[in-house]
Amino acid sequence: MDVLADRVLELGPKPAADSPYKNFKLTRDEDGIAWLLFDRAGTSANTLSADLLEELDAVVAALENQRPTGLVVRSAKKSGFVAGADVNEFRGASDPRAVETEIGRAHAVIDRLEASRVPSVAVIHGFCLGGGLEVALACQMRIAIDDARFGFPEVMLGLHPGLGGTVRFTELVNPMQAMTLMLTGKTIDARRAKSLGLVDAVTQERHVRNAVKDAVFGRLKRAKPGALNAILNLGPVRGLLASRMRSEAEKAAPRKHYPAPYALIELWEKHAGNRSAMLNAEKASFANLMVTPTAQNLIRVFFLREQMKKAAGSGNKVAHVHVIGAGAMGGDIAAWCASQDMRVTLADMKAEPIAGAMKRAAELFGKIMRKRTDQRDALDRLIPDMDGEGVRNADLIIEAVPEKLELKQKVYAGLEPKMKAGAILATNTSSIPLQDLRTTLARPERLLGLHFFNPVSRLQLVEVVSHDGTDAAMLKEARAFVGAIDRLPLPVKSSPGFLVNRALTPYMLEAMMMLDEKIDQRLIDVAAVEFGMPMGPIELADQVGLDICLDVGDMLRSKFGDTLPPTPAWLREKVAKGELGRKTGKGFYTWKDGKAEKAPLPETGPKVSDEMIDHLVLPISNVCIAALREGIVDDPDMVDGAMIFGTGYAPFRGGPLNYARTRGVEAVVSALRALAQKFGDRFAPDAGWETFK
Amino acid sequence: MARPVFIVDGSRTPFLKARSGPGPFTPVDLAVQCGRPLLARQPFAPTAFDQVILGCVNVIADEMNPARVAALRLGMGEQMVAFTMQINCGSGMQSIDTGYRYIREGISDLILAGGAEALSHAPLVWPNSGVRWFAGFAGAKGLGAKIAAALKVRPSYFKPIIGLERGLTDPITELNMGQTAEKVGHLFGITRAQSDAYAAESHQRLANAQKQGFLKGEVETAFSRDGKFYDHDDGVRPDSTAETLAKLKPVFERPWGQVTAGNSSQITDGASWVILASETAVAKHGLTPRAVILDSQWSALDPSIMGLGPVLSASALLKRNGLTLQEVETWELNEAFATQVLGCLAAWNDDKFCREILGLDGAAGEIDRAKLNVDGGAISLGHPVGTSGNRIVLHLVNAMKRLGTRRGVATECIGGGQGGAMLIETV
């Protein structure tokens, strides 16, 4: 019934065609209530930019003269309320005072809205994040539509709220809860927002008119700040709570790399209870954070993600995905696709792996979907297919069978005659060149690679691999599919290890070389984590599986020779013994319940050195440069994005190439030379550094 | 001129014996489990159907009109008309019969007709006395009134009634279904030994069918959310013999009855679908008809001898089509109770019964056991009541295809005193 779609948002009276404002619509209904609609020009979502805020100031000023009976603030965009401030305007900022002046102007607009003497009510649907939530907090009342989501994601950009949010949020909502939300950047749904007292009511679009009337004429039952809030905001209590928050924050984000959480805690600890002091301090603290490399790099990463999303393109045509092989990767790819509204047939000749995949899918859906009916529907879309019947109707086939050339070719031979015209044949291979896989195909132009990363639900990257005969239109469709399942595509040419595995393998193999130098494995992991990696290389190898590390290492060495460290003989023995890492419970570490058991390092032992860190991380940058030079990938920004979204490479460093750029190409090249002298030619700087800027 | 109606495909879940507590699937879950692979192997989209008809007796509270819930969960589209049928043990066949008539009349071309039942999910019901007490307590205003209401409570209010037990008791005669089988057995002189021997053979036939792979393509593996899978009818006991079954005590009429848990159908969860198509749909989607439905018949009789329902309905069906008992090459006669199946066979062989009740010139004769329930039946498979009627039609088609026979009848007795029968021919 798409014909009814336009009637979905209740926006008050129909605005006149010629609005005096560029980014707003302003109307007045029969009760004299003014409806102020955010409708930023030329975009599908509202963000707060400097010019929009300037215009908001003019609108609020005009309303002060018109004196309506009430004011409704809402968005005219279907996508939601306001998605946040336009951080693009602060990219490259280096002078904290300039930032503070800028943010001060924005503060004044929000303060003016808050000071409005008519009853004001924000009506919120969809995403209400960061700056958007700060606008809503400046209204006297808030009514949420039941699909609304609230949050302060600033911390993910190395910032904290900067438009008075730290003040108004901790005043309105239990400060422990408020601080936790701001410190983690998590979003909450309308129900939770109501229980926190962030919104006064939750309703549906069809009741917005009546709800607004009740709000404006004093009939709405308001959420009341809990009695506890005042106590929690008292000085001595704050001190106690703040130190607890700091120790929690230290576990997730070390202060050295991520200053924002600590700045936020300090702001609240020092100033809560003193409104004007806290508002002022927030501006200065925000400005200081904005110019840190962490914030600037994280903002860049945010835009890298946007850029990759855009590169995915729109117009996805895939509705039915057929996944072959219900093993760890195939099963998880199938589950993810089903969670993203795809109809999925999961083919395997045996019931056991399908059953295991269904179990993991049920667990995943339980985590990512709140409603039981959504979980049920996603499970219904994930169709076990023991006879491989799904091929016939599938728009996309993803083959995820074991990495054996003959096996894959045998599977393709069975598939090809059954595939419908226009269907894409994708392989999730991580090690077999597409040039080898295509040799037996009747129509090799339909073959491409869709290389997912483990865990599929957490790592957003998908390498979209082409060989020289892949149909260009199909590559485009494959990228659009990746975008449609909320993953980020990286176009790569078929070459051993593609980009990510090729760059990540030396990280793990060098760690094994360091083990041969009798360096404690825990210390190696600590070195990488200190650099900012989510996990040390030894633990990562255990996680990936030592058998896989061995295979990929051998495969890469067969192509790239001595640019890779030799595989230690003891690794082969370990694999032969079945010590494969996490999956067998023992590798370098002993694993229990999915966690590596690590005793703390001795206090007096050797410490992490800069050379250790270089030894581990510079080969990553060196390989990325080589891949760029060889034309495997063509955009250095995408390389950074891929390593961050595919491996978790220290995001605040902005990726392996941005890291090199920041440290200085000269410095990196000479560090590589020093390593080459000490450890061998495999560290020799790639020729590509000469042209890299 | 009535249009021919084809059965083009079908599938069912394994029948899962109710053990302790609710099984892994609700009725709609079961319908989805076997419906998904069935729809996935069709050359047309799930939205191409005209309607969905599902037999289900024990509808659970979360799934009112399970046909529609199943249609939507199977991705058949918001515009799919779907309704649920209930004629007790005949529900799954009534869905086929109704679809058959819609297509024959030219109203529809493609219909998904099934049956779904999860007897393990049958509820415990509070006695009405208890429900009335709770309503009074909840409605009492003020502390005094609450206390007064609370004091009226009696322990019997909390003694739950097993819903299934009530469901299997005929409300008119107050006889349990097992008792109606005892009665039929008595009328035709069926012995305990005969019943046990029949039951043992049912298990052996199913075990053989499973071993030989006769059920491949009919039974689709079901997968539950907790990572388990179910790939066969798990009530089968290949080691059952007439001797071991003889050791069981009668369950319905102790101590002298002959109906035991061993020679009765099992309490089971399961679902089944068949796809019905007109000639137009067959041509449009390039389908291969497997069988054609020629006729169907429903009959009714004294509820206390409901087990004879098949004799009435199948005889009327054959008479109208000018056929004798012996001209039917393959039979599926639902095994509610071994005693009841044997009672039906005896009735057809009873001169007086056939003359006076069926209006025949004499005894209809014998049905060769080799033609009857060739791969076992509800005694070994279980009897998910709303599903069984669908399963016997589906399996009849598959069995005839395998045996190379042409004409078959599927028939069942129906609690409450009815019988249903369907005449099909392979194509």
Convert the pLDDT of each residue in A396-452 to its tens digit: 999 999 999 999 999 999 999 999 999 999 999 988 899 999 999 999 999 999 999
Residue A226 has pLDDT above 80, yes or no: no
Cβ atoms of residues A354 and B220 within 8 Å: no
Residues of A in contact with B231 (CB under 8 A): 351
**Which residues, 6+ apart, have CB-to-CB distance to A124 below 8 Å?**
A74, A81, A136, A142, A143, A144, A145, A148, A150, A199
Angle at A253 between CA A251 and CA A254, to 5 degrees: 85
- Does the distance separating the beta carbons of A351 and B32 come in below 8 Å? no
A482-506 in b/e form (b: 16+ CB < 10 A) is: bbbbebbbbbbbbbbbbbbbbbbbb
Cβ atoms of residues B300 and B418 within 8 Å: yes
Instruction: Tell me the CA distances in angstroms from B426 to A139, A642, B4, B115, one per residue in order.
Output: 74, 59, 13, 22
* Angstrom distance (rounded) from CA B321 to CA B333: 19
Per-chain mean pLDDT for chain B: 95
Confidence of residue B154 (pLDDT cuts 50, 70, 90): confident
DSSP string, B117-172: EEGGGPPEE--HHHHHHHHHHHH--SHHHHHHHHHT--GGGG--EEHHHHHTB-TT
Residue of chain A nearest B41, judged by CA positions: A389
Question: How close is the nearest chain A Cα to the Cα of B227, in Å?
Answer: 4
B2: DSSP letter: P
Cβ atoms of residues A222 and A197 within 8 Å: no
Residue of chain A nearest B28, judged by CA positions: A380
Residues of B in contact with A358 (CB under 8 A): 223-225, 227
Q: What is the pLDDT of residues B359-401, one digit of tens each?
A: 999 999 999 999 999 999 999 999 999 999 999 999 999 999 9
Residue B1 has pLDDT above 70, yes or no: no
Selecting from B45, B225, B229 the residue whose C-beta is nearest the C-beta of A379 gives B225
* Angstrom distance (rounded) from CA B170 to CA B418: 12
CATH of A314-494, one of 3.30.70.141, 3.40.50.720, 3.30.720.110, 3.30.1120.130: 3.40.50.720
Which tokens go with A1?
Answer: 């019934």
Residues of B in contact with A392 (CB under 8 A): 41, 43
Residues of A in contact with B224 (CB under 8 A): 358
Instruction: Tell me the CA distances in angstroms from B88 to A577, B22, B54, B185, B412, one per residue in order.
Output: 60, 21, 12, 22, 11
Residue of chain B nearest A342, judged by CA positions: B75
CATH number corresponding to A8-291:
3.90.226.10
Question: How close is the nearest chain B Cα to the Cα of A358, in Å?
Answer: 6
Per the residue annotation, which of A10, A55, A102, A134 is the catalytic one?
A134
Cβ atoms of residues A540 and A562 within 8 Å: no
Residue A343 has pLDDT above 90, yes or no: yes
A362 touches chain B (CB under 8 A): yes
Which residues of chain A form CATH 3.90.226.10?
A: 8-291
Confidence of residue A6 (pLDDT cuts 50, 70, 90): low
**Which residues, 6+ apart, have CB-to-CB distance to A373 below 8 Å?**
none
- Does the distance separating the beta carbons of A393 and B45 come in below 8 Å? yes
* Angstrom distance (rounded) from CA B424 to CA B5: 10
Residues of A in contact with B38 (CB under 8 A): none
CB-count exposure of residue A170 (10 Å: 0-12, 13-18, 19+)? buried
Which tokens go with A537?
Answer: 């290389």
Q: What is the pLDDT of residues A245-273, one digit of tens each?
A: 999 999 888 999 999 999 999 999 999 98
A427: DSSP letter: E
A389 touches chain B (CB under 8 A): yes
Question: How close is the nearest chain B Cα to the Cα of A476, in Å?
Answer: 26
- Does the distance separating the beta carbons of A354 and B229 come in below 8 Å? yes
Report the DSSP beta bridge partners of residue B344: none
Cβ atoms of residues B404 and B295 within 8 Å: no
pLDDT at B177: 95
Residue B123 has pLDDT above 80, yes or no: no
Task: Report the catalytic residues of B.
Answer: 89, 383, 413
* Angstrom distance (rounded) from CA A514 to CA A617: 13
**Mean pLDDT over residues A661-684, rounded?**
96
* Angstrom distance (rounded) from CA B149 to CA B138: 9
Residues of B in contact with A345 (CB under 8 A): 40
Cβ atoms of residues A539 and A596 within 8 Å: yes
| Interface with chain B: mutation pick from A320, A342, A358, highest number of B CBs within 10 Å | A358
* Angstrom distance (rounded) from CA A244 to CA A175: 13
pLDDT at A351: 97
Residues of B in contact with A360 (CB under 8 A): 227
Task: Spell out where A576-672 has E strands.
Answer: 590-592, 595-597
Question: How close is the nearest chain A Cα to the Cα of B175, in Å?
Answer: 40
Residue A15 has pLDDT above 90, yes or no: no
**Mean pLDDT over residues A103-116, rounded?**
96
Residues of B in contact with A376 (CB under 8 A): 73
Residue A392 has pLDDT above 80, yes or no: yes
Question: How close is the nearest chain A Cα to the Cα of B232, in Å?
Answer: 12
A352 touches chain B (CB under 8 A): yes
Residue of chain B nearest A366, judged by CA positions: B225
pLDDT at A1: 64
Cβ atoms of residues A308 and A489 within 8 Å: yes
Which residues of chain A form CATH 3.40.50.720?
A: 314-494
pLDDT at A280: 96
- Does the distance separating the beta carbons of A383 and B36 come in below 8 Å? yes
Q: What is the pLDDT of residues B219-277, one digit of tens each?
A: 999 999 999 999 999 999 999 999 999 999 999 999 999 999 999 999 999 999 999 99
Which tokens go with B284?
Answer: 């449009």
- The percent of residues in chain A predicted with pLDDT above 90, rounded, is 89
Question: How close is the nearest chain A Cα to the Cα of B260, in Å?
Answer: 35
Place of tokens 């599929």: A456
Cβ atoms of residues A380 and B30 within 8 Å: no
Residue of chain B nearest A390, judged by CA positions: B40
pLDDT at A17: 81
- Does the distance separating the beta carbons of B229 and A351 come in below 8 Å? yes
pTM of this prediction?
A: 0.93
- Does the distance separating the beta carbons of B37 and A355 come in below 8 Å? no
Which tokens go with A524?
Answer: 């190696």
Q: What is the pLDDT of residues A57-79, one digit of tens each?
A: 999 999 999 889 999 999 999 99
Residues of A in contact with B79 (CB under 8 A): none
Question: How close is the nearest chain A Cα to the Cα of B217, in Å?
Answer: 9
Which tokens go with A243?
Answer: 């130190």
- Does the distance separating the beta carbons of B36 and A386 come in below 8 Å? no
- Span between the terminal Cα atoms of chain B, in Å: 20
**Mean pLDDT over residues A648-666, rounded?**
96
> Cβ–Cβ contacts within 10 Å for residue A444, how many?
19
Number of Cβ pairs < 8 A linking chain A and chain B: 56
pLDDT at B195: 97
Selecting from B43, B75, B227 the residue whose C-beta is nearest the C-beta of A359 gives B227
Which residues of chain A form CATH 1.10.1040.50?
A: 501-691
- The percent of residues in chain A predicted with pLDDT above 70, rounded, is 99
Which residues between 461 and 490 in chain A have a beta carbon less than 8 angstroms from any beta carbon of chain B? Answer: none
Task: Spell out where A76-168 has E strands.
Answer: 80-82, 120-124, 127-129, 141-145, 149-151
SS3 letters across A464-500: EEECCCCCHHHHHHHHHHHHHCCCEEEEEECCCCCCH
**Which residues, 6+ apart, have CB-to-CB distance to A396 below 8 Å?**
A318, A320, A321, A322, A423, A424, A426, A478, A481
Nearest to A107 by CA among A246, A323, A342, A285: A285
**Mean pLDDT over residues A573-590, rounded?**
93
**Mean pLDDT over residues A458-462, rounded?**
96
**CA of residue A90 relative to chain centroid, distance:** 20
* Angstrom distance (rounded) from CA B338 to CA B71: 35
DSSP string, A96-108: HHHHHHHHHHHHH
**CA of residue A243 relative to chain centroid, distance:** 28
Residues of A in contact with B36 (CB under 8 A): 380, 383-384
| Interface with chain A: mutation pick from B36, B62, B63, highest number of A CBs within 10 Å | B36
For domain A501-691, say whether CATH 3.40.190.10 is its number: no
Q: What's chain A's length in residues?
A: 693
Which tokens go with A257?
Answer: 């790399």
* Angstrom distance (rounded) from CA A321 to CA A343: 6
* Angstrom distance (rounded) from CA A602 to CA A373: 51
A385 touches chain B (CB under 8 A): yes
pLDDT at B368: 96
* Angstrom distance (rounded) from CA B129 to CA B135: 10
A392 touches chain B (CB under 8 A): yes
pLDDT at A693: 79
Q: What is the pLDDT of residues B174-216, one digit of tens each?
A: 999 999 999 999 999 999 999 999 999 999 999 999 999 999 9
pLDDT at A105: 95
The CB-side HSE value for A409 (13 A sphere, CA atoms) comes to: 15
- Does the distance separating the beta carbons of A356 and B37 come in below 8 Å? no
- Does the distance separating the beta carbons of B43 and A380 come in below 8 Å? no
